[in-house]
Amino acid sequence: MMYEPVKTSKAGFVDVEAGAGLYPGISSDENTLRWGFIRKVYGIVSTQLLLSMIVAAVVVFNTPVSLFFAQMPGLYFFMSFLPLILLIPLYYYQQKHPVNLVLLGFFTVSLSLTVGVSCAFTRGELVLEALVLTATVTLGLTAYTYWASKKGYDFNFLGPVLFVAVITLILWSLIQVFFPASKLSMSIYGGIATVIFSAYIVYDTDNLIKRFNYDEYIWASVSLYLDILNLFLSILNILRAQSN
């Protein structure tokens, strides 16, 4: 059996992108372009996560800020829905630079403020544990998706199932606003949400590899960012319910 030699760079390092296709049947040129697109998306997502950590840290370590939002539930409720409102113009202007980046910044900051308030009234060790678990799950599922894609697996079938699941999850959370759930219900809610957003990481990573167009880097970044952030909040809900 003949094996194609692995391509190396002039410096002698293995060129992984040139030596292996992202999925069966992809051409060499397409593979190179797709890797460039993937790097761009992950760069944006990394920047969003870093910005979220900075904004959340300001809220957590600045007691007057966290108390301000806690004492004004109406404002906090509005801030919780503001990211959903910003998704509409963000989707419409996602290909118009620099408006898309400005809207992306507002979207990330508004979402980070609510996350910061949530973390401000949670024990620090629980937040750290949720961060570690989120990072571990995200890296593991991302690596698995790339491996599965290389083997020819496809996760596009998850789209309709996950859409219905997340709508049900949103309705459940709205009901909890008016009828606070017990500790057991919160644990169940957090567990189901963790499974859903873990599956979303696989689904959106698969789309990143195969289906997102090259000019959809903003929307691809938003999708992955929301998956990771919601996974973190779901895990945090589980830990909080278990510790109360």
Work out how many domains the chain is built from and give that number.
1
Q: What is the pTM of this model?
A: 0.87
Report yes or no on 20 lying in a domain: no
Does 14 have pLDDT greater than 80?
no
Report yes or no on 23 lying in a domain: no
pLDDT tens-digit map of 184-228: 778 888 899 999 999 999 999 999 999 999 999 999 999 999 999
Report yes or no on 12 lying in a domain: no
Long-range contacts at 145-151 (CB < 8 A, ≥ 24 apart): 145/201, 145/202, 145/205, 145/206, 145/209, 146/22, 146/205, 146/209, 148/206, 149/22, 149/23, 149/206, 149/209, 149/210, 150/20, 150/21, 150/22, 150/23, 150/24
What pLDDT is recorded for position 82?
A: 87
What pLDDT is recorded for position 80?
A: 79
Report yes or no on 80 lying in a domain: yes
Report yes or no on 100 lying in a domain: yes
Report yes or no on 11 lying in a domain: no
Report yes or no on 171 lying in a domain: yes
Report yes or no on 93 lying in a domain: yes
Q: Which residue has the higher pLDDT, 4 or 197?
A: 197
pLDDT tens-digit map of 67-115: 887 777 777 778 878 888 999 999 999 888 899 999 999 999 999 988 9
Q: How far apart are CA 62 and CA 120, in angstroms?
A: 9
Q: In angstroms, how far apart are the furthest CA atoms of the chain? A: 71
Count CB atoms within 10 A of the CB of residue 44.
19
Q: Which domain holds residue 86?
A: 30-243
